[in-house]
Chain A
């Protein structure tokens, strides 16, 4: 009964990650897409709660020249689809 959370905004322009940190449950998945991938570039995710699987969309990293830190796992567009299919619900944090 886990949730897939999609983040598509830069964590430096908004407080979405703070808000999301209060909204995740253990076992949830967070996928960074579009400008959200900038959160994987440095320290923005350091204080994010544990027990949550962090993913980053590979093609958005490539187009932005972002090299994700070890905290998040790369996923392809097909993997994105798999995540939406294996989680119970999806929440978009645009």
Chain B
């Protein structure tokens, strides 16, 4: 079967729901099956890329540790949408290493399958 290029878009913030974790797990499944997807953070999803995130008050782990491990599975760079990023008042210095700015319209157009989280 011909393989398809996959884009995983994370659009929800990292705490308060499990969307980010589920998006990352999906990306890892793709990588484990030999097809690392492109991973893009857009909307509130860019907030998952903030460095220095810690455990929440209830001790929940968050997604920061998982993000740091993605490069081991050839999921890199971590793409982010510039508009979402700027409209939330984030500086590039505040991001974890390995992030890169991308054009969301162009990225959607060049992938066969797009999955949103």
Interface residues of chain A, those whose CB is within 8 Å of chain B, are 1, 3, 15-16, 18-19, 22-25, 88-94
* Proximity bits, B84-116, A CB within 8 Å = 1, else 0: 100100000000000000001110110111101
Whether B43 is near chain A, meaning CB under 8 Å from some CB there, is yes
Contact A19 B109 (CB under 8 A): no
Write the chain A residue with the least CB distance to B19. Answer: A94
Which chain A positions have C-beta within 8 A of B114? 3, 89-91
Q: Given A19-B83, A19-B84, are A94 and B116 neighbors across the interface (CB < 8 Å)? A: yes
Interface size on B, residues (CB 8 A): 18
Contact A23 B42 (CB under 8 A): yes
Whether B81 is near chain A, meaning CB under 8 Å from some CB there, is yes
Whether B67 is near chain A, meaning CB under 8 Å from some CB there, is no
A90 to B113, alpha carbons, bound, how many Å? 8
Total inter-chain residue pairs, C-beta < 8 Å: 44
Interface residues of B in 27-42 (CB under 8 A from A): 42
Of A18, A23, A88, which one neighbours B105 at CB under 8 angstroms? A23
Which chain B positions have C-beta within 8 A of A91? 9, 108, 114, 116
Contact A24 B111 (CB under 8 A): no
Contact B112 A88 (CB under 8 A): yes
Q: What is the CB-to-nearest-CB distance from A22 to chain B, in angstroms, rounded to a whole number?
A: 5
